Structure 1
Amino acid sequence: MSAYYHNSPYGNNPQYANNGHYPNGNNNSNSNSTNGNVYGGNGNYGYGEEMVEFDVLDHDHGYGNDHQYLNNINMNDNNGYDPNERSQVRSPPKPIRPGLSPTEDMGSPGWPLAATRRGHDRQHVDSFASVSSTPAGSRSGTPAFARYFPAPVQYQNNQSFQSHQSLTALVDQPPSPLYAKDWVQQGSIARIHDRDDADIWKGWRRVVFRFVPFLTFANTALYLFYLGLRIACVILAQRAEHATFAGAWIFIALEVSTAIPSLMHNCWTMWSVKERHRPKLRLTGDDCPTVDVFITCCGEEDDVVIDTVHAACDQDYPMDKFRVIVLDDAKSSSLEASTRQLALTYPNLHYMARTKIPGVPHHFKAGNLNYGLEQTRLMPGGAGQFMAALDADMIPEQQWLRAVLPHLLNDPKMALACPPQLFYNTPPSDPLAQSLDFFVHVIEPVKDALGVAWCTGSGYVVRREALDDIGNFPLGSLAEDVATSTLMLGKGWKTAYVHEPLQFGTVPEDFGGHLKQRTRWAIGTVDTAFKLKFCLYGDAVKQMTGAQRFSGFLYATLSLYTILLTASLFAIPVILMWGRPLVAYANDEQLRWLIWACFAATMANRLCEFALFIPAGYHTGQRGSRYQLWMSPYIALCIVRSFFLPSWLGGQTQAFKPTGSLGSALEERDPKRRKNLIRRLWTILVNYMASFHLAFVYVTIVGVCLTSYRCFYTQDPANFRNIFLCLITHAFWPPLTFLFICTSLWTPVSYAIDPPSMPDREELLQRDPKTGVAHPTPSSKKIAFGGQAAWFELEYTVATAFTIFVFVYSFFYL
């Protein structure tokens, strides 16, 4: 085990600084007031009588009579939220023997390590304290913690966590010798680099990315010109032919529908003209603020959770300044036992499980987090100045806390700072677009530059006083992270995005888990938008800036837009089977101008995509574009059910739920245990409703074949010009929109036929043989280039080459 050894001697009696004495009455300053929380407050989390138990972990592992305490709050009920939610500088470590507690005064409130010295008489706890049957926010009696620890300090109601005051003691200290370089500023916060993402992408990529706002503007302008020309030509053709070109109008509507998401993103990415200036910082020394690290879990595999817990305990941070608290919403006895065992090495590790009464809303992850917030007020030393949260599968890097906290300490109005969510088990080519690379490497930095950084759900650190201001985590939302950061912005707080690779988790390993995760995110985002009036007006958002309001409106609207996009997809096979022209014009001159405008708009779009996708990778951006199409039917269905259909018509507020009964998981990414092809196809096509995607692709292909046959049948076979013009105006108008849509919607089917193979999770990790701490291997942190990515690149190349061919052809034969 590696830990921090403090210079002050260990006394015979461990000093428990700031142990809380909790008077009778209400210890929750938010239980009777919503504090602007549009979700109805958080005073009652739906549990009645709670039994708080302080167990003694009795062990003899070579330490004599040493023993350590693990906070164990026993609850019941296994209902919970979905588990799929989801260059280090370190002082030379010296080991701390289990059973010893550092007593050095670190300048800011510290906590006692839950241990006693070897040679002391053991304290046997033969009973646990009973807390009266009142909500957690209004307890009476003396908590069990107060029975076993002295209580010299009182934490009163409406306590203010002035965490920014800890900077007073920090900035007067010289930097650590390990940071003694010319770019390190004096003080305990080291400025490592002028850009926090300096190690992620650099060089020529940054130069090209600077042109994104101008390329985006040009791309949007050319597309609008092309669209206007299309509409004008249809009108002129109708006047010349005295007929209505319904197919042309439908095709225009379809193109606009598929282009709107890109246009809306274009409007946002043009804001990247505002450069982002967030430096790479590190908190140095041992004089650090106190942090409660919550690890929320609910039914995940024990080894996955323990790897996260182990890495969280192994932080490069003074052990007496942070606690790691496992919030188990499934009350797993095996996880509790594993946590107890690990607590023998890390005395700052605790396990908690809340009571969830059947029939009483427990508010999923938000309720679990709020429970943890209330319980930390009752622990020795009281609540930490900051709270951090990790998903059960998200393994933090050792410098995680030291990298994120300086951004909060530098600004007393900074409420929350979060790093990107990255993953180490993404399969080659990422066929389902499960990585969040485009969002975390492109969208979030732009949002951060405009002061609109969202909480990404894991790895974030938040100021306790900011949480108090909004009434803790908002209840009643499936996207508590987005709702939390939005409410903080509405209260005038700031949020930051730390663009460093500081945590790595796992993506869902099956198709159904991916659908459930993404539809839940979409429902949560839309639900939050409705409750906050799309961030346009209301008391909850009254202190938001214009950019913050626009961001909240944009991303909620994009989720709702999937309904219109899904409906418009039906138009493609209809007009192809109908045999009407997709493009109408009155003469060859108009057709020539249409081809030229189409070529300009397509080339501008390709160039803009290349520059915009650079921070995340070109192929990542392309996967995101395809994902928007094939995932739209699922998101649209769930949104309609959740917000528009009454219950008697099937309305229900939940993520995507497969039809029928699934006998067992497909295990499609395990080459040894995956189900056979027939089983995979049946499950994904029937239970997961991908039959819609299959039908769309095949009907569209049939329509293209029929239209092509008509062109060869109705035109003179010797007249290539007329045949070619018929083909491009009836089916093959550049840049072959039907091909891009068909290959995108084919994704679930191709995934069922040929799912990617992934090794066991352990093969993706590097595990320290001495400590057992595991971190992802360098190769597992990157998405490998696979056959599917090559296929889509070939398709894109063919479509672009065809557009160029038609453009050149127009100069000689029109």
Structure 2
Amino acid sequence: MARRGEMTEIIPLEDNSSGDSIERPSRIDTAPTYNSRESHNLYPNGRPSLPPAQHHSRYSFVDTPGGSPPGTPLTGGGGASPYGNLVPPRYQSYTTVDTRSSSPSAPTPFRSQDTLRPLFPDAPSTFLKKDWVQDGSIAQLHSRDDAEFWNGWRRHLFYLAPFMTALSLALYWLYFGLRIAFVTSAQKARHTIFPLAWIFITVEICVAIPIFMQNFWTMFSLKKRRRPKLRLIGNDVPTVDVFVTCCGEDDDLVLDTVRAACDVDYPQDKFRVIVLDDGKSASLERAVRDLADTYANLYYKSRPKFPGVPHHFKAGNLNYGLDEVHTMPGGAGQFMAALDADMIPEQQWLRAVLPHLLVDPKMALACPPQLFYNTPPGDPLCQSLDFFVHVCEPIKDALGVAWCTGSGYVVRREALDEIGNFPLGSLAEDVATSTLMLGRGWKTAFVHEPLQFGTVPEDYGSHLKQRTRWAIGTVDTSFKLNFCLWGDKIKQMTFAQRTSSFLYAFLSLFNILLTISLFAMPVVLVAGKPLVAYANNEQLRWLIRSCFAAVISNRLTEFVLFIPSGYHTGQRGSRYQLWMSPYIALCLIRTFVLPTWLGGSAQAFKPTGSLQSALNERDAQRRAPMYRRLWTIVVNYLAGFHLTYVYFTLVAVVLSSYRCFLQLTLKDTLICLITHAFWPPLTFVIVCSSFWIPITYALDPPTVPDRELLLNRDPKTGIAHPTKESKTVAFKGQSAWFELEYTFTTLFTTLIFVCSFLF
């Protein structure tokens, strides 16, 4: 494996054309030096390869500060490189430049130059030639890797999020403090107990806790994240084994990923693509072997499975690949990378991720976000991970707690060897792997660049199975590692790393309490008891005012907090936490609480009954009729729970309101309505609307074009990448309807607040 790197001074940049000196950058850790045994070509026996590289040289870091005109040569290690005033590129097209000489021994073109063409559009044709490329250099294209996602005024406004979050949390707890104090005061004044009022306080806190914890995490954005946008230049690069894991997916889906993986901008003799087929598909094997005639670095592998012997799902498949590469020509690569079967990598994927491992010898793993190109318009099920990848992961990365998210990551083989490869017995081997690495003192990185695009599940059932599997895997990993609070396996984790692991496991488990507490509100209303108890009208006024302050501050915080992911995406995530909680709670109880004879099962969500055929709900031509969609989602996929809750809650609201209208005076009627069903901010409206989403999905599912229409495919090579339009979530009227609900509840809360001063 690679040896640890040494400290070396960055070469100063000089503008040879003007004579002006450029500021000397600070010192950094360089990548490890690879010896001749470690830096072999992967394909020495008959495979096309480049001439042997000089492996005694270190990787040098090439900074690209502004102020120099394009074309300014940059010196480093004896070579010259024309990096000058760089503007962050947007890689929209790739122009192939033939740099081969007439000599038959000339190496293949340096394709890394092609991705730099947008930086110098006016340069002569001889500009992107081999003579300026310095092998093994790392270019810094921008001081921030997420500059392509968001910048300018939005970034500055987002810096207010921690302060607004702190204010919102303080006002919420002031409100709850008054609620508790006034219930206690009312009990003393009336010499009775208000158990249902205490229950409603518990409901409010339970509904607010996920918001509290999510918002609390954003307060750590005060710690500035300083991860630059890097590129690895030249052909003197480490070897990489790229695993494409699959198990029963459509051949066309897998082959699109395989072709794109073979086409990445990286010397062909320094990486190989290995398809690890856990489904042992004969048709896929034939197709991959046919492609191997075009891509000499492509292989197909399928592990044997024996009856009664656990195969450990994806982790077992990856470990099989890690063992197999030792028997392949050239042995194991210095780094290992993995792609899910549906994740199409961008051409600069490896050159963008690897530098973060090379500049820090303690960096074990670097992972880009999982982005998608077939998300339905409006994303009704909140299938995109935009809030997680654009808000949560960058903050975690700043604290040194970046997770491996399962695809697109590159990992150091030395770190994998130290933890015994991928841990077995977990449905979330990616989270477990990064957690164990952090526990051994390694580092992990989140590379916030759009470097891979995949597909979300195309039906309701598959979405439930995916998300409940994630929840079970996260909780199971936490149980095995004692919630990362103590133990030998995590003894080198920092306080922030332990806190993060505990927080996300707790949020998954909290779905059980959240599901139970949601039923408390309609029960209180049916019983005819007030949701709010107080001793006198003055206390009621202060409760209303504190509630208004908490609600408005939370709304303003949401506007700022959701800036990186988009406001509507953040709101969908909040609703998703509510309607998805019964599914996650059920699976967690079955997995970790119930014995087998009571229905316990160590698996993700499984529908009841027998499904005769797929619903095809997102295909306008082939989708099942409405009655069958409703029956399947309500009965087989257990959305009947959501239907029952909405019906029960609305009946409770109507019954409670009817009792209020029996009051003798208008004032008593209004106070009764406010203190019963219509206590601001009308929690029942938001909860019922969220729980109705599965029913709405069954009645009016979104339409998604055929996958081929979402891709730009090269007719000659068959290589496909998502279109620009498919990479964003299209707007749908449902988002406007949800915003209308939020606006209405906010205005209602404001109206009650104003009335507290007038009456």
Please give the TM-score of this superposition, normalised by the length of structure 2: 0.85
Cα distance in 2 for partners of 1:367, 1:681 equals 38
| Deviation at residue 415 of structure 1 after TM alignment | 0.1
Partner of 2:294: 345
Show the counterpart of 1:691.
Answer: 640
Shift of 1:715: 3.4
CA contact (8 A) 1:534 1:552 kept: yes
Q: 1:581 to 1:766 in 2, by over 3 A?
A: same
User: Once the 2 structures are TM-superposed, how far is the Cα of residue 271 of structure 1 from its aligned partner?
Assistant: 1.1
2:251 to 276, 283, 302: 302
2:159 aligned to which of 205, 210, 233: 210
Correspondence for 1:357: 306
Q: In the TM superposition, what is the alpha-carbon distance from 1:676 to its structure 2 partner?
A: 0.5
Q: Which residue of the other structure, out of 323, 326, 331, is the alignment partner of 1:374? A: 323
Q: Tell me, yes or no, if the aligned pair for 2:368 and 2:450 is still in contact at 8 Å.
A: yes
**Larger deviation: 647-656 or 364-373?**
647-656
- Secondary structure at the aligned position of 2:273 is classed as strand
What is the letter of the counterpart of residue 111 of structure 1? L
1:772 aligns with 2:718: yes
1:112 aligns with 2:61: no
CA offset digits 1:755-774 (Å, max 9, x no partner): 10111000000111222110
1:385 alignment partner in structure 2: 334
Q: Is the 8 A contact 1:323 1:349 kept in 2?
A: yes
The match for 2:184 is 235
Question: What residue identity is the alignment partner of 1:748?
Answer: P
Q: For residues 759-797 of structure 1, what are the alpha-carbon distances to aligned partners after superposition, in whole Å with 9 as ceiling and x for unaligned?
A: 100000011122211001111000011011111111101
Q: Which amino acid aligns with 2:756?
A: S
SS in 2 for 1:713: coil
Counterpart-to-counterpart distance in 2, 1:462 and 1:112: 21
Residue in 2 that maps onto 1:537? 486
In the alignment, which residue of structure 2 is the partner of 1:458?
407
Q: Is the 8 Å Cα contact of residues 211 and 611 (structure 1) preserved in structure 2?
A: yes
**The one of 550, 571, 576 aligned to 2:525:** 576
Deviations 1:690-725 (A, max 9, x none): 101000001111111111111112233xx2x33222
Equivalent residue for 1:810, pick from 746, 756, 759: 756
2:335/2:412 contact within 8 Å kept: yes
> AA paired with 1:112?
Y
Bigger shift: 384-393 or 602-611? Answer: 602-611
Listed as ranges, the matches of 1:81-230 within 5 Å are 108-112=39-43, 115=46, 167-168=58-59, 173=77, 177=81, 179-181=83-85, 188-230=137-179
2:568 is aligned to 619
- Could you tell me which amino acid in structure 2 is paired with residue 672 of structure 1? Q
Alignment-mate amino acid for residue 559 of structure 2? F
What is the aligned partner in structure 1 of residue 235 from structure 2? 286
The aligned residue for residue 409 of structure 1 is 358
> Whole-Å Cα distance in 2 between the matches of residues 752 and 706 of structure 1?
29
Find 2:456's aligned residue among 507, 514, 520: 507
Per-residue deviation, 1:339: 0.6
Query: Matched residues in 2 for 1:522 and 1:623: separation?
Result: 18
Give 1:321 shift.
0.5
Deviation sequence 1:233-256 (CA, Å, 0-9, x none): 111112222222222111101001
Counterparts of 2:294 and 2:47 in 1: how far apart (Å)? 14
Distance (Å, rounded) in 2 between the aligned partners of 1:777 and 1:106: 42
Check conservation: 2:530, 2:675, Cα contact below 8 A. yes
Q: Secondary structure at the match of 1:281?
A: strand
SS at match of 1:431: coil
Partner Cα distance (1:490, 1:293) in 2 = 25
SS at structure 2 position matched to 1:453 = coil
- Which string of whole-angstrom CA distances, capped at 9 and with x for unpartnered residues, describes residues 559-587 of structure 1? 11111111111112211211211111111
Q: Identity percentage over the alignment?
A: 70
1:272 counterpart = 2:221: yes
Evaluate the alpha carbon distance shift between residue 229 and residue 286 of structure 1 in structure 2; reply closer, same or farther with a 3 A threshold.
Answer: same
Contact 2:249 2:341 in 1 (8 A): yes
Query: For this pair of structures, how many residues does the alignment match?
Result: 663
Q: Which of 750, 763, 771 is the equivalent residue of 2:696?
A: 750
Distance 2:679 2:739 in 1: 20
1:594 pairs with one of 529, 533, 543: 543
Q: What SS does structure 2 have at the residue aligned with 1:462?
A: strand
Kept in 2: contact 1:477–1:527 (CA 8 A): yes
C-alpha change, 1:696 and 1:175, in structure 2 (3 Å) is farther
- Structure 1 distance, partners of 2:47, 2:318, is 30
Report the AA paired with residue 483 of structure 2.
Answer: F
Distance 1:794 1:668 in 2: 27
Q: Deviations over 1:319-360 (max 9, x none)?
A: 111000000001101111111111111100000000010110
Hey, what's the Cα distance between the residues in 1 that align with 2:644 and 2:44?
A: 62
Is 1:733 matched up with 2:682? no
In the alignment, which of 622, 632, 646 is matched to residue 595 of structure 2? 646
SS in 1 for 2:661: helix
Whether the 8 Å contact between 1:212 and 1:611 is mirrored in structure 2 is: yes
1:426 corresponds to 2:375: yes
* Contact 1:690–1:749 (CA under 8 A) maintained in structure 2: yes
Q: 1:559–1:577: structure 2 CA closer, same or farther, 3 Å change rule?
A: same
Whether the aligned pair in 2 keeps the contact of 1:425 and 1:507 (CA below 8 Å) is yes
Q: Kindly tell me: are residues 488 and 267 of structure 1, through their superposed partners in 2, closer, same or farther at Cα, counting changes over 3 Å?
A: same
Q: CA 1:370–1:176 in 2, change beyond 3 Å: closer, same or farther?
A: farther
- Could you say if the C-alpha distance between residues 341 and 380 of structure 1 is closer, same or farther in structure 2, counting changes exceeding 3 Å? same
**SS of residue paired to 1:417:** strand
Give, in whole Å, the separation in 2 of the partners of 1:351 and 1:504: 23
Identify the residue that residue 793 of structure 1 maps to in structure 2: 739
Q: Alignment partner for residue 625 of structure 2, among 676, 681, 684?
A: 676
Distance 2:634 2:365 in 1: 42
SS in 2 for 1:811: helix
- Aligned-partner SS, 2:552: helix
User: Which sits farther off after the overlay, 588-597 or 168-177?
Assistant: 168-177
Match of 1:333 in 2: 282
Give the partner amino acid of 2:635.
V
1:244 corresponds to 2:175: no
Deviations 1:305-331 (A, max 9, x none): 000000000001111110000000011
Alpha-carbon distance change, 177 to 553 in structure 1, aligned in 2, over 3 angstroms: same
1:616 is displaced (CA, Å) by 0.5
Amino acid at match of 2:243: F
SS in 1 for 2:662: helix
- Please tell me the root mean square deviation across aligned C-alpha atoms, in Å: 2.1
Amino acid at match of 2:244: I
Q: What displacement does 1:642 show?
A: 0.7
The secondary structure found in structure 2 opposite 1:492 is: coil
Q: Which has the higher contact order (CA 8 A, sep 6+)?
A: 1
Cα pair 2:38 2:334 within 8 Å, conserved: no
Q: Which of 513, 516, 519 is residue 468 of structure 2 equivalent to?
A: 519
Which of 551, 557, 560 is matched with 2:506 structurally? 557
Q: Give the direction of change, closer, same or farther, for the CA distance of 1:176–1:554 in structure 2 (3 Å limit).
A: farther
Q: Which runs of 5+ in 2 are unaligned?
A: 2-35, 50-54, 63-75, 89-132
Name the TM-score, length of structure 1 as normaliser.
Answer: 0.79
Relative to 1, partners in 2 of residues 1:288 and 1:701: Cα closer, same or farther, differing over 3 Å?
same
3-state SS, counterpart of residue 470 of structure 2: helix
Of the structure 1 ranges 461-470 and 741-750, higher mean CA displacement relative to structure 2 is found in 741-750
The alpha carbon displacement at 1:114 in A equals 6.9
Q: Secondary structure of 1:307's partner?
A: helix
Equivalent in the alignment of 2:650: 701
SS, match of residue 755 in structure 1: coil
> Following the alignment from structure 1 to structure 2, what is the Cα–Cα distance between the partners of residues 318 and 737?
58
* Counterpart contact for 1:173–1:188, Cα < 8 Å: no
Rounded Cα–Cα distance in structure 1 between residues aligned with 2:86 and 2:682: 55
